[in-house]
Amino acid sequence: MTAIPYLGLMAATFVILAWSADRFVDAAGTLALRLGMPLVLVGLVIVGFGTSAPEILVSALAALSDNTGLAVGNALGSNIANIALILGLAALLVPLTTTFAAIRLEYLALLIATLGLIPLLLDRHLGRLEGALLLILLAGILVLFVLRARGDGRTPVTALPAGGRTGPTLGWLAVSLCLLLLSAHLLVWAATALARMAGVSDLVIGLSIVALGTSLPELATSIAAVRKRQFGMVLGNILGSNLFNILAVLGTAVLITPTTLASGPLVRDYGLMTALTLLLGVLLLWRGSVGRVAAAFLVLLYVSYQATLFLYHL
């Protein structure tokens, strides 16, 4: 088969992805206002989990096929793409501004999850016990977020009139999320087929095309949200997605099939993911924003990382 059908499928799914992301952001924002939830929390839990579903699905299927290397690469590669590429592209369009206090707990949770992997990775082996610990930590963090949101009375600045119907909003949320996931899956499938036709290795596909493809919902959702100046949802989406990738995606994969990781790729990919997480904290704490200069640096760093992967065919 030639590459033309795959290219046509990718073009069609990009259109569906963009439309469904716009509807998803509208529905999530409306639901947040009706329920009195802050946009950061909605981005973290609803959007973050929903757009991480492709990573969870792909990694679980890879683990069931005894290919946990692909599952781990998907989790780490998606986190790198979320910060370096997706946040970078969003901030190139519109510089993101916020206060560190607004996302302090969310960022600290991601930082703890990221650094908490270090003792688990010292022997380069992730087993079922480590997977269970990651999932338990995720459950505890989600409970903490919900209790914090209910207890401190944080509400959006604007509220929708009481008594509004949430049924149609929930319907649009479900339909648009399904379209997001389906279009992302088709894009991954088509891109992977093209890569195999070009003779690219499975590991490179996992770290690049699969990781980027399963991050497409985060990209589309973040671009749609930044156009609406919903910066809290953008940051909540990135932080939430990365948190789910570490705890849910990685935890589920190694719970299904334990894995031993090669030291070289582990240092390279985990090290870059950790460095990007720390850099994001510095930008938000020190500057309170991600401007276009920082955004351009992030995107350039991601392009260089991908070029390195393909150059050495690791």
Average pLDDT over residues 87-113: 85
What burial class does residue 266 get, using C-beta atoms within 10 Å of its C-beta: 0-12 exposed, 13-18 middle, 19+ buried? middle
Residues 297/108, Cβ–Cβ less than 8 Å: no
Q: Given a cut of 90, is residue 74 above it in pLDDT?
A: no
Look at residues 106, 100, 81, 88 and name the one whose alpha carbon lies nearest to residue 272.
81
Q: Which of 20-29, 179-188, 243-252 is modeled with the greatest confidence?
A: 243-252
Average pLDDT over residues 98-125: 85
| Whole-number percent of the chain with pLDDT over 90 | 20
Q: Given a cut of 90, is residue 303 above it in pLDDT?
A: yes
Query: Between the CA of residue 244 and those of 26, 194, 229, what are the distances in Å?
Result: 22, 28, 24
Residues with Cβ within 8 Å of 122's Cβ and at least 6 positions away in sequence, in order, are none
- Per-residue pLDDT band for 42 (boundaries 50, 70, 90) equals low
The pLDDT value recorded for residue 136 is 94
Q: How many domains does the chain have?
A: 1
The pLDDT value recorded for residue 156 is 44
The pLDDT value recorded for residue 1 is 64
The string of pLDDT tens digits covering residues 147-204 is 776 665 544 444 444 445 777 888 888 888 888 778 777 877 777 777 777 776 666 7
The string of pLDDT tens digits covering residues 220-232 is 778 888 888 877 7
The pLDDT value recorded for residue 170 is 84
Instruction: Identify whether 4 is part of a domain.
Output: no
Q: Identify the weakest region by mean pLDDT among 98-102, 123-127, 266-270.
A: 98-102
Average pLDDT over residues 262-281: 88
Query: Between the CA of residue 170 and those of 24, 52, 104, what are the distances in Å?
Result: 10, 19, 28
The pLDDT value recorded for residue 161 is 46
Instruction: Identify whether 29 is part of a domain.
Output: no
Look at residues 76, 22, 54 and name the one whose alpha carbon lies nearest to residue 186.
54
- Per-residue pLDDT band for 206 (boundaries 50, 70, 90) equals confident
DSSP string, the chain: --SHHHHHHHHHHHHHHHHHHHHHHHHHHHHHHHHT--HHHHIIIIIHHHHHHHHHHHHHHHHHTT-HHHHHHHHHHHHHIIIIIIIHHHHHHS-EE--HHHHHHHHHHHHHHHHHHHHHHTTSEE-HHHHHHHHHHHHHHHHHHHHHHHHS----SS-PPTT---HHHHHHHHHHHHHHHHHHHHHHHHHHHHHHHTT--HHHIIIIIIHHHHTHHHHHHHHHHHHTT-HHHHHHHHHHHHHHIIIIIHHHHHHHS-EE--HHHHHHHHHHHHHHHHHHHHIIIIISEE-HHHHHHHHHHHHHHHHHHHHHT-
Residue 47's φ and ψ, nearest 5 degrees, are: -70, -40
Q: Which residue has the tokens 């950061």?
A: 40
State which residues form the domain around 145. 40-157+188-312
- CATH number of domain containing 151: 1.20.1420.30
The pLDDT value recorded for residue 298 is 95
Instruction: Identify whether 94 is part of a domain.
Output: yes
Instruction: Identify whether 110 is part of a domain.
Output: yes
Spatial distance between the Cα atoms of 313 and 205, rounded to a whole number of angstroms: 10
The pLDDT value recorded for residue 44 is 62
The angle subtended at Cα 296 by Cα 85 and Cα 216, nearest 5°, is 15
pTM of the model: 0.77
Spatial distance between the Cα atoms of 246 and 266, rounded to a whole number of angstroms: 14
Amino acid at 276: L
Instruction: Identify whether 142 is part of a domain.
Output: yes
- Per-residue pLDDT band for 48 (boundaries 50, 70, 90) equals low
